[in-house]
A = this chain, B = another copy of it.
Amino acid sequence: MDEFDLISRYFEPLQLADGDIKLGIGDDAAIVDLSGDHAITTAVDTLVEGVHFPTGMEAGAVGYRSLAVNLSDFAAIGATPRYATLALALPAVDQKWLEAFSVGLGQALRAADISLIGGDTCQGALTITIQLIGTIDGAPMARQGAKPGDTLLVSGTLGDARAGLELMKQPGGIDTGHSKALVERFMRPQARLTLGVEARCYANAAIDVSDGLLADVGHVMTSSGCSAEIEVDRLPISREIQAVFGCERALAYALAGGDDYELVLSVSPKYLDRVMRISSDVSVPLTVVGRVRTGAGVVCLDSKGQELPLGSKGYRHFT
C-alpha cells in the first residue's frame, strides 16, 4: 500500500457529496465555492527533515522551499495564492536557525506577493506544513482533462533538483558553478505561478512535477483515462546537469528524479500556438515532450520511435 492507495482507501470516503466542492481530494489543490465572486482555492504540503530535504539543510532554503512546493500546487491548477498559514514543529528553539528560516520564508512570500496570516508552533521533529489560500477565476486545469491528441509540454528543465540533492549528499559534492546551480534548484524551486494562471484557459490538464515526470504524467493519464508517449530525446535537460552527471544520469533524473516543480501541460493542438506565445510572454520556456493517446500508461520512445523499457516510477512514500 503506497500513499495513493492509502489516500483513496482511508481519506476519500471522508469527502462529502457537496456541490460547493469544485475540486477535491486527489488533485494538486482543492477548490470550494464559499461565497460570491471567486472560488476559494487551498493546498497543503508537509516537509519533514530527512524525508523531503536532507538533515541539516540551511534554514533559509528550508523556509523558501516549504512555501515554493505549495505555490507549485497552485500553479498546477492555475490559481492565485493570497495567504499562507504555517504549522511548524521544532525540536528546540535555535534562534539562528529560526532567523534564517524566517528570512527564507519571507523571500518566498514576497516573491509571490502573499502574506502569512496564522499558524501553529510546537515541539517535535522538524516538520513544516504550509497551507495556502487563494482564488481562482473560472475552471481549473485539473488532472482529469487530458484528451487523446493533446500535446504534452513541460516548462524549464528537468532533473536538476534531483541532481542537486545527490550533490548535497556527497561530501565535497558542491564545488563548481554548475553544482551550485543544481543545488539551488533543489533548495529554492521556482513555482510557475504566472504560467499556470495564463495557461489555465488553454490547457486541458496540468500537473506540477514533484514525484518525477513519468510518475506525474502517469497521474494525469490515470485521472484522464488516456495514455502518454514521451519522446526522451526532446526532454529539456540543462547544461549544468549534463556537465556534472553526463547524459545517462541526466536522463534518468529528468524522467524520474522528482522535485522539479515544473509544469506539465496537456494542450489541444488548436491552442498550441497560443500557449507557446504565453510561454514567451511570461519568459518561461516550454518544450514539447510528447503526446496523449488512447489507452493507459506512459511509454518512453527513443529517437527512432522505439519504446524504451521504463525504470523508476517516481517517488512514492511508504514503498
User: Which A residues are within 8 Å of any B CB, using their own CB?
Assistant: 1, 3, 6-7, 9-11, 13-16, 18, 20-21, 24-25, 27, 29-30, 32, 34-38, 40, 42-46, 48, 50-52, 82-83, 85-90, 92-93, 95, 98-99, 101-102, 105-106, 109, 114-125, 127, 129, 131, 133-135, 317-318
Residue of B nearest to A318 (CB): B93
Given contacts A32-B133, A35-B40, contact A122 B48 (CB under 8 A): yes
The contact of A117 among B15, B83, B106, B120, by CB within 8 Å, is B15
Contacts of A134 in B (CB 8 A): 34
Report the separation of the CA atoms of residues A185 and B306 in the bound assembly, to the nearest whole angstrom: 64
The contact of A25 among B11, B90, B105, B117, by CB within 8 Å, is B117
Residue of B nearest to A22 (CB): B117
Contacts of A25 in B (CB 8 A): 116-119
Residue of B nearest to A127 (CB): B127
Please state if A119 and B11 are interface contacts (CB–CB under 8 Å). Answer: yes
Please state if A121 and B42 are interface contacts (CB–CB under 8 Å). Answer: no
Please state if B129 and A46 are interface contacts (CB–CB under 8 Å). Answer: yes
Contacts of A105 in B (CB 8 A): 14
Residue of B nearest to A86 (CB): B11
Which one of A30, A117, A122 has the greatest number of beta carbons of chain B within 10 Å?
Answer: A117
The contact of A24 among B7, B109, B118, by CB within 8 Å, is B118
Which one of A29, A109, A121, A135 has the greatest number of beta carbons of chain B within 10 Å?
Answer: A121
Contacts of A36 in B (CB 8 A): 35-38
Q: Given contact pairs A48-B127, A92-B318, enumerate 5 new A-B contacts (beta carbons under 8 Å).
A: A14-B116, A42-B118, A42-B133, A46-B122, A48-B124
Please state if A102 and B48 are interface contacts (CB–CB under 8 Å). Answer: no
Given contacts A10-B98, A11-B119, A34-B38, contact A85 B44 (CB under 8 A): yes
Report the separation of the CA atoms of residues A192 and B42 in the bound assembly, to the nearest whole angstrom: 25
Residue of B nearest to A49 (CB): B124
Contacts of A87 in B (CB 8 A): 44-46, 87, 129, 131
Contacts of A318 in B (CB 8 A): 90, 92-93, 123
Please state if A14 and B45 are interface contacts (CB–CB under 8 Å). Answer: no
Please state if B85 and A116 are interface contacts (CB–CB under 8 Å). Answer: no
| Closest Cβ–Cβ distance, residue A314 to chain B (whole Å) | 14
Please state if B102 and A34 are interface contacts (CB–CB under 8 Å). Answer: no
